[in-house]
Amino acid sequence: MKFRDGMWLAAEGKRLEYAEEVYSTTRLEESRGLRLLCPTKKIMQRADTLNLSTLTIDIETPFDGVLSIETTHWLGALNPGPHFDLFPAGKPSTRHTSITKSPKSMTISSGSISATVKTVDHDFDIRFHATDGSKELTSLLNRSIGLAYGPAPSNPMQTADMRNLHHYIFTQTTLSVGESVHGLGERFGAFNKVGQAITLWNADGGTSSDQAYKNVPLWISSRGYGIFIDTPDKVELEIGSERCCRVQTSVEGQRLKWYIIHGPTPKEILYKYSILTGKPGKVPSWSFGLWLSTSFTTNYDEKTVNSFLEGMKARDIPVEVFHFDCFWLKAFHWCDFVFDSEMFPDPKAQITRLKESGLVKKVCVWINPYLGQVSPVFEIAASKGYLLKRKNGDVFQWDLWQTGMGIVDFTNPEAVEWYVGCLKELFDKGVDCIKTDFGERIPSEDVQWHDSSLDPRKMHNYYAFLYNKIVYEALQERFGENEAVLFARTATAGTQRFPLQWGGDCESTPEAMAESVRGGISLGLCGFSYWSVDIGGFEGYPPPWIYKRWVAFGLLCSHSRLHGSNSFRVPWTVDEDDTSDQGCSKILSTWTLLKARLMPYIFAQAQESANLGIPLSLRAMCFEFPEDSTSWFLDRQFMFGSNLLVAPVFEESGNVEFYLPAGKWTNFFTNETKSGPGWFKETHEFDTLPLYVRENSILVLGKEGETRTVYDYARDVEVRLYCVRKGAKATVVGSEGKEIGVLEVGEDGEVGKQEFLGGEWSVTCLPARDHLSDYVLGAWKNFSLTSPKSDELKLCHLLGAFDRVVQRCYSTGNQVNCNPMAYHIPLRMSSKRRNSPYFIT
């Protein structure tokens, strides 16, 4: 919301009052904080203290590296819930706090971050900076904190009746030259939010609008700090869009609280944010496999489902989870949890047959938190008070989405118990996971929640948290703490605790695929580890080329699901069953099997991501390379974990341009290397894309031809070394998520402590061709040696005007041919221990 008409005038119908100076300061001993009394005019004499507003600003130290700032006009105003569930794992102790005073200022410090408040000269000036003085982060300066009325009262007597007045609190933090702003939930517009006006209000707007399903009041700055706005209420932000040099945050009410979180890196910011709002839950290994959906409005029954899965198996496309979308329920009955008896006369038996066939391991069904009045269940739920009501006592209903639809009131404990009971009946039928759709269009006017103490406007966004929490915890109760999986569309702060989320309704276009990338990386910067997308696009009929490009992108998201609206997403329906190597079926098989092979890497990275509260995929480039200013503007590529760079292809031709940060990068498919920083152009068929491995990486991969998602991630694996140096590490975890061991490169360039690897494991060293000068190639060409050693022969450390080269040759049988010119041929050390001589040419 804009409160000004340019720099000089108030907006029409608005009255503004600003904190003009810090009149007095008081220490808050219990919270180790500081309270500032800030009048809305400069106090030059005693008479100036009369007939004016004051703003109270509390700066507190919740834990090291974080400060909270709460601005209040009238302290006596109620602060009704709901409130975000902060510190769910407990509040950490605050060890490094202090308040110091100088003749002109006071400084409050919380670990690595401090705020310095000017206390002289009738100025309003608060600077947030690194405690060590190395960097100023942002500041609150003249006309940066205030209150506003709308419509503008002509005298203070009118504020005696506030029923027809809107009252706002706003703050404006400064934007430095070149500073960029990111996050604020799953947003599909420009990745850098500077210049945008954003309203944090959950809405079902698709992926091609400024609305968002997942509004999260957290943004991260390229200057090394983040700001979390501590309210589920509607928040409006003007990010360099009212004043070009400031981020304005406003909320209707008497108070506004936010936390400033010092990094300096995005990884450190999100870790501290996860202490505030909770860490992402861990998901089971099977959830990373391919999910196949019936699609939305398509007709299907048991025969249809089986035909899909049999067709996928025949085409070497393993499916881990089959999803029954809306029409497992009877039309007009959504969502009463009752299978449509005409289409599914015995759902439990059907699901049992489906799993026993071996075509799929898990089953998911679609639900929402609404109830259509046509269902007989509606009358029961309404009579028992399970549905949201209007202020006059009527059940709140509208005909949006479902005829006479009511909304489950999750503030009523009995409604929650009933809803969980319905979920348990699904689990009894063999359902393993739940797609929690909707939860965005929650009314905020003329409604009365069962818990009447709650603010209906705050409940609009917070409903997403309650809805997903209830379903997730029901899954945990049935299947185990780390075995619960949602497929959720709506979210707010804290909902990362209930994974996973998907991007909502996108069109079947390359533009929508790019929108989805932006949405995924933005949500990741708000602490969500897992994210998925409707492969092929939800709306419309994807042409084969878009489907195949989307398959490549979708299988490199943390989770991968084929889903559409009014058309199926099995590949043979997209391209008339093209059986060629570049047909949809073969391409889907290729990428599904690649993800299966990557599972030892993916699942280990998933554990780390959840522990740190950071994204697995899609991970914004700036997350891994915050010192590279270009990385803060990259919105068409991302990192999958810390070691893999992914650049989706958006052109039918296969042309793609992408950026590599500083260092050596190895093409996963060809083993060619490129050196960054720099922009590169490539052309790809449908079975590859720019997938680059970061230097100093150890990748643990499943064996060639691996088709399973869940297997022993320490057995029969290939350990790939990419331009490694001493200290390079890779953690190996089991399919249950427990650490098995750590591979680490030692002083000699070798991987030590391999005893926990089993079966026919191997180590592959991938030398980089651009490290080798003609001199080195010549030396290798003329070198030959035969040795009886049985384990390893370390050849040559050649030094010159070129990079140091270390080439290792390992025995996998009776002989090894080592030729650095054939750099793309893997050279391996096998777990086989044979007393066979090396023959090296």
Catalytic center residues:
437, 440, 505
Sorted by sequence, the CB contacts under 8 Å of residue 838 that are 6+ apart come out as 785, 786, 787, 788, 789, 793, 809, 811, 815, 816
Sorted by sequence, the CB contacts under 8 Å of residue 561 that are 6+ apart come out as 290, 291, 292, 293, 323, 487, 502, 532, 533, 534, 535, 554
Is residue 707 a contact partner of residue 753, using CB atoms and an 8 Å limit?
A: no
Rounded to 5 degrees, what are φ and ψ at 286? -65, -25
| Other CB atoms within 10 Å distance of the CB of residue 73 | 20
Is residue 285 a contact partner of residue 599, using CB atoms and an 8 Å limit?
A: yes
Is residue 527 a contact partner of residue 268, using CB atoms and an 8 Å limit?
A: no
Rounded to 5 degrees, what are φ and ψ at 648? -60, 155
Lookup result for tokens 């990745």: 191
CB neighbour burial string for 208-229, b if at least 16 within 10 angstroms, e if fewer: beebbbbbbbbbbbbbbbbbbb
Map residue 414 onto helix, strand or coil: helix
**Amino acid, res. 111:** G
Map residue 628 onto helix, strand or coil: coil
> Residue 55 has what DSSP assignment?
E
Choose among 297, 362, 285: nearest CA to 331.
297
Question: What is the C-alpha separation between 399 and 402, in angstroms, rounded?
Answer: 6
Peptide linkage before 677 cis (omega within 30 of 0): yes
| Other CB atoms within 10 Å distance of the CB of residue 205 | 15
CB neighbour burial string for 425-464, b if at least 16 within 10 angstroms, e if fewer: ebbebbbbbbbbbbbbbbbeeebbbbeeebbbbbbbbbbb
State the angle between helix axes of 347-356 and 302-314 in degrees (0 to 180), rounded to the nearest 10: 10
Q: Are strands 290-293 and 321-324 parallel, antiparallel or unpaired?
A: parallel
Choose among 174, 173, 168: nearest CA to 146.
168
* CA distance to 668, 733, 767, per residue, from 720 (Å): 10, 16, 11
Choose among 57, 79, 501: nearest CA to 254.
79
Angle at CA of residue 35, ends 31 and 40, nearest 5°: 155
C-alpha count within 13 angstroms, C-beta hemisphere, residue 67: 32
Question: What is the C-alpha separation between 635 and 515, in angstroms, rounded?
Answer: 9
Is residue 386 a contact partner of residue 412, using CB atoms and an 8 Å limit?
A: yes
Question: What is the C-alpha separation between 262 and 111, in angstroms, rounded?
Answer: 9
C-alpha count within 13 angstroms, C-beta hemisphere, residue 169: 22
Lookup result for tokens 């501590």: 230
Lookup result for tokens 């100036």: 48
| Other CB atoms within 10 Å distance of the CB of residue 102 | 10
Question: What is the C-alpha separation between 275 and 92, in angstroms, rounded?
Answer: 8
Question: What is the C-alpha separation between 86 and 492, in angstroms, rounded?
Answer: 13
State the angle between helix axes of 599-612 and 266-277 in degrees (0 to 180), rounded to the nearest 10: 60
Reading the block at residue 535, the tokens are 């492969």
